[in-house]
C-alpha cells in the first residue's frame, strides 16, 4: 500500500491566507451589500510596467517563428538575465558574482521552500518570530520541526522573538542553530535591520559555521540609507549566506512568477564526516533534476525592468505603494493604535487594542469596518495580539480604509 509523508498531517488544515479567504467569503455571503477593502494578502494591484509588457509581446513573437523559437531553456536561467541582475542588483552596490552563482526561478516562495531539499533533516532550524509561514511549514514537511506544542511552537525549531519590547530586533540565539532564516525588510512586521545589526548576524554565522537563508524579497522598498540592500554588502557573507530575491513585489510579477536565488561558490555545508560540500553545486544538481526553468518570455520581461524606462516604471509603482504605506502608518497612529513598519517595507504591523487576540481583532475589523487584514498569530506565537495590513491596495481604497477607521470606536 502507498504510505503518505506523515509530516504533512502535522500541519494545520489550511494555509493562513486560505483561512482568511474562507472567512471573508463567508462574510460576503452574509453581507453581500458590504464593500470589502482587502489589505490582507500581499498581492499587488498595479499593472505590469509597460517595458515588461513590450518585452513579453516581443518574446511571444519570437516563439512564433522557427528561427527564434525556443524550447527547453537552461534550468539555471538564461545568461542574459543573470548578467543583467549582477550588473544592476549587485555591481551597483560594489558586489561581484559569476553568472553561475545566480539561479533564476519562479519566485522566492518556491526557492525558500525548496532549499531544504539540499539540507539534512538533522539541521537545527532557527526563525525569527513572527515569521513568513512558508519557512516553518516547509521544515515541518522536511522532518526538521519536531512536534507542535501547546504554545504554538514546534519542538525542534528555535524561535527568536521580535516584538515591540525588543524593538523588533532579533537577539543572537544562545543555543546554536545550524540554519537561520532572516527576512529583511521583514514580512510581516515591516521593520528592517541596519548594516550594523545585520553585520552581527553575519559575524555570528561565520564564528559558528551557520548557514543564513536571507529573504530579500522587499529590497526595492528600502528608503533609509543605513539599511543594506543585500546581505552580501556585509564582509564575509558569501561564506555563510544564500540570498533569495523576487520580482513579484518589485515589478508586479505575482502573476508572471519570476525570482532568483544567489548561492556563492565559496559557500559550503558539511557531510557528517566533516567534509565540505559546495551548496552551489548541490542546488544546481537539484534544479537540473526537479525544475525545467522559468519561461523564456517571463525572463525577457524581467530583463526589461532593468532598462532605463523599466526602472522608472518600477520606481513609480513602488512609490505608489509606499505612499499607501505612509498613509496607513499615519492614519492608524491617528486612531491611537500602536503601529510599526511602513518605512522600508509595504507592511504595517498593528498592535491589537485592549488586549484583543489577533483573530478577534481581524473579525472586528472585518465585521465593523469591512477591512481585511492578516492576523499576526498566523505568522507565529509572537505575532499574537498583532495584525498586518499591506500597502498593495489601491490608493483610493487606502484612503477609504483610513476614513472608516477614524470613526471606529475600538
Mean pLDDT within 74-80: 97
Show the DSSP H helices in 165-278 as ranges. 195-208, 248-251
Say if CB 370 and CB 36 are below 8 A apart: yes
A 10 A CB-CB count for 168 gives 21
Give ∠ CA 390-379-269 in degrees, rounded to 5: 110
Residue 175 has pLDDT above 90, yes or no: yes
Mean pLDDT within 29-44: 91
Residue 187 has pLDDT above 90, yes or no: yes
Residue 114 has a pLDDT of 97
Residue 14 has a pLDDT of 66
Residue 410 has pLDDT above 80, yes or no: no
The per-residue pLDDT for range 292-342, each reduced to its tens digit, is 999 999 999 999 999 999 999 999 999 999 999 999 999 999 999 999 999
Per-residue b or e along 222-248, where b marks 16 or more CB atoms closer than 10 Å to that residue's CB: beeeebbbbbbbbeebbebbbbbbbbb
Domains of the chain: residue spans and CATH: 13-47+309-406 (3.90.1150.10), 54-306 (3.40.640.10)
CA distances from 124 to 115, 142, 143 (A): 15, 12, 11
The per-residue pLDDT for range 302-316, each reduced to its tens digit, is 999 999 999 999 999
The per-residue pLDDT for range 4-33, each reduced to its tens digit, is 999 999 988 767 778 888 899 999 999 999
Rounded-to-integer distance, Cα 245 and Cα 222, Å: 14
Rounded-to-integer distance, Cα 233 and Cα 170, Å: 20
Q: Shortest CA distance to 83 belongs to which of 312, 313, 303?
A: 303
Rounded-to-integer distance, Cα 386 and Cα 256, Å: 31
The per-residue pLDDT for range 209-261, each reduced to its tens digit, is 999 999 999 999 999 999 999 999 999 999 999 999 999 999 999 999 999 99
Q: Does an H or E element contain 241, and which?
A: strand 241-246
A 10 A CB-CB count for 68 gives 11
Say if CB 324 and CB 395 are below 8 A apart: yes
**Average pLDDT taken over every residue of the chain:** 95
Residue 261 has a pLDDT of 98
Rounded-to-integer distance, Cα 315 and Cα 250, Å: 9
Burial class (CB in 10 A: 0-12, 13-18, 19+), 71: exposed
Amino acid at each position: 500500500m502507498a504510505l503518505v509523508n506523515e509530516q504533512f498531517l502535522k500541519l494545520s488544515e489550511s494555509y493562513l491566507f486560505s483561512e482568511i479567504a474562507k472567512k471573508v467569503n463567508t462574510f460576503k455571503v452574509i453581507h453581500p451589500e458590504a464593500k470589502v477593502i482587502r489589505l490582507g494578502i500581499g498581492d499587488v494591484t498595479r499593472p505590469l510596467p509597460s517595458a515588461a509588457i513590450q518585452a513579453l509581446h516581443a518574446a511571444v513573437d519570437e516563439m512564433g517563428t522557427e528561427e527564434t523559437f525556443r524550447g527547453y531553456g537552461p534550468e539555471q536561467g538564461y545568461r542574459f538575465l543573470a548578467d543583467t541582475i549582477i550588473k544592476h542588483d549587485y555591481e551597483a552596490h560594489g558586489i561581484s558574482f559569476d553568472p553561475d552563482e545566480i539561479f533564476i526561478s519562479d519566485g522566492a516562495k518556491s526557492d525558500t521552500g525548496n532549499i531544504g531539499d539540499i539540507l539534512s533533516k538533522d539541521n537545527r532550524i532557527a526563525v525569527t518570530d513572527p515569521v513568513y509561514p512558508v519557512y516553518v511549514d516547509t521544515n515541518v514537511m522536511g522532518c526538521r520541526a519536531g512536534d507542535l506544542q501547546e504554545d504554538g511552537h514546534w519542538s525542534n525549531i528555535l524561535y527568536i522573538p521580535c516584538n515591540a519590547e525588543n524593538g523588533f530586533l532579533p537577539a543572537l540565539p544562545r543555543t546554536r542553530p545550524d540554519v537561520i532564516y532572516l527576512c529583511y525588510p521583514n514580512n510581516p512586521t515591516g521593520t528592517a535591520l541596519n548594516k550594523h545589526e545585520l553585520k552581527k548576524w553575519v559575524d555570528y554565522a561565520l564564528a559558528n559555521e551557520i548557514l543564513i537563508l536571507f529573504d530579500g524579497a522587499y529590497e526595492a522598498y528600502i528608503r533609509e540609507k543605513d539599511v543594506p540592500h543585500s546581505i552580501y554588502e556585509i564582509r564575509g557573507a558569501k561564506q555563510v549566506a544564500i540570498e533569495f530575491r523576487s520580482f513579484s513585489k518589485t515589478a508586479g510579477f505575482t502573476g508572471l512568477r519570476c525570482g532568483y536565488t544567489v548561492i556563492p561558490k565559496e559557500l559550503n555545508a558539511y557531510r557528517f564526516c566533516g567534509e565540505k560540500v559546495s551548496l552551489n553545486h548541490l542546488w544546481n544538481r537539484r534544479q537540473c533534476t526537479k525544475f525545467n526553468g522559468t519561461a523564456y518570455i517571463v525572463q525577457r520581461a524581467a530583463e526589461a525592468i532593468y532598462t532605463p524606462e523599466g526602472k522608472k516604471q518600477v520606481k513609480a509603482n513602488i512609490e505608489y505603494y509606499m505612499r499607501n504605506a505612509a498613509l496607513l502608518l499615519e492614519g492608524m497612529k491617528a486612531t491611537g493604535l500602536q503601529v510599526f513598519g511602513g518605512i522600508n517595507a509595504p507592511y504595517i504591523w498593528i498592535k491589537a487594542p485592549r488586549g484583543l487576540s489577533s483573530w478577534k481583532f481581524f473579525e472586528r475589523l472585518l465585521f465593523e469596518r469591512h477591512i481585511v487584514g492578516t492576523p499576526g498569530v498566523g505568522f507565529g506565537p509572537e505575532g499574537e495580539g498583532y495584525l498586518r495590513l499591506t500597502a498593495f491596495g489601491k490608493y483610493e481604497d487606502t484612503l477609504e480604509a483610513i476614513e472608516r477607521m477614524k470613526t471606529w470606536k475600538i
